[in-house]
Amino acid sequence: MLVSSSPYANHPDSCLQIYAVSITIRIVLGFMLLALIWEFDFPPFMVLIIAILNEGTIMTISKDRVKPSPLPDSWKLVEIFTTGVVLGGYLAMTTVIFFWAAYKTDFFPRIFHVKSLEKTAQDDFQMLASAVFLQVSTISQALIFVTRSRSWSFVERPNFLLVFAFLVAQLIATLIAVYADWAFTSINGIGWGWAGIGWLYNLVFYFPLDIIKFFTRYALSGQAWDLVIEQRGHVEMVVKPKGLDIDTIQQSYTV
């Protein structure tokens, strides 16, 4: 029997719930922002491909290794939902930033000497769709390594089958992004240069996921609010004997 090592972050069912909420938020919010800001319509068929690749990998989580829980466990739906929303919102922002950098700037062509996808009179949305597909696919599926672990995701070693399934799925996604020329779903291959950029970009933005997970867990645990109350009590003990008004002090130093 698999038992969690935290109230909600390491149980197989809980990590899947957090992952599911995160991916839903990142897909809906990310593509909605691309459509609203730049009128970019991501091909629906490619969303289906992302879902198929993700589900194939997630099936292997049932064979994953986890640590026993040191404390009694229980479902905490608020924590699961909140953590999923925060992580999903962050992933959506990574996609928006990636699209902006590729479409509105010459940063990637200037640094990595790849073909420009920058906005022109004739926008190449088909190559942009391939680039966005790879960016979304790789970092979205890599999120499972964050949600399954209580500490740093690269410290708690996952089951070999999970890693193997991830690598196979993302190899397929990379090959599609590099070579696919599918008129029916409006994508063109981006080549290995842009594929490398997508992987490197996701690697950079992957590491903050653990920090966001820690911060969210700490904030929801109540310890953060206990610290705020404790510090307020300490300030009151200092200022009241001096006849100072704590509310006035807070207003003066609040941004």
Q: What is the pTM of this model?
A: 0.79
Are 28 and 94 members of one domain? Answer: yes
Are 192 and 244 members of one domain? Answer: no
Inform me whether the pLDDT recorded for 147 exceeds 80: yes
Inform me whether the pLDDT recorded for 228 exceeds 50: no
Are 204 and 228 members of one domain? Answer: no
Number of domains in the chain: 2
Are 208 and 236 members of one domain? Answer: no
* Predicted pLDDT at 14: 74
The answer to whether 135 touches 198, Cβ cutoff 8 Å, is yes
Looking at per-residue confidence, does 95 or 219 come out higher? 95
Are 163 and 39 members of one domain? Answer: yes
Reported as a single tens digit per residue, the pLDDT across 193-206 is 999 999 999 999 99
Are 149 and 173 members of one domain? Answer: yes
Are 253 and 159 members of one domain? Answer: no
Are 194 and 242 members of one domain? Answer: no
Q: Give the end-to-end CA distance of the chain in Å, rounded to a whole number.
A: 50
Q: Is residue 217 part of a domain?
A: yes
* Predicted pLDDT at 251: 44
- Give the residue numbers spanning the domain of 142: 12-221
The answer to whether 53 touches 173, Cβ cutoff 8 Å, is yes
Q: Is residue 6 part of a domain?
A: no
The answer to whether 31 touches 39, Cβ cutoff 8 Å, is no
Query: Distance between CA atoms of 100 and 138, rounded to whole angstroms?
Result: 18
Inform me whether the pLDDT recorded for 255 exceeds 50: no
Q: Is residue 101 part of a domain?
A: yes
CATH no. for residue 106?
1.20.1110.10
Query: Distance between CA atoms of 143 and 110, rounded to whole angstroms?
Result: 30
* Predicted pLDDT at 3: 38
What share of the chain has pLDDT > 70, as a percent? 75
Q: Is residue 74 part of a domain?
A: yes
Reported as a single tens digit per residue, the pLDDT across 231-254 is 455 545 554 565 555 455 444 433
Alpha helices in the chain (DSSP H): 12-38, 44-58, 77-104, 107-112, 125-147, 160-179, 191-221, 223-239, 246-252
Q: Is residue 5 part of a domain?
A: no
* Predicted pLDDT at 7: 38
Are 18 and 143 members of one domain? Answer: yes
Q: Is residue 159 part of a domain?
A: yes
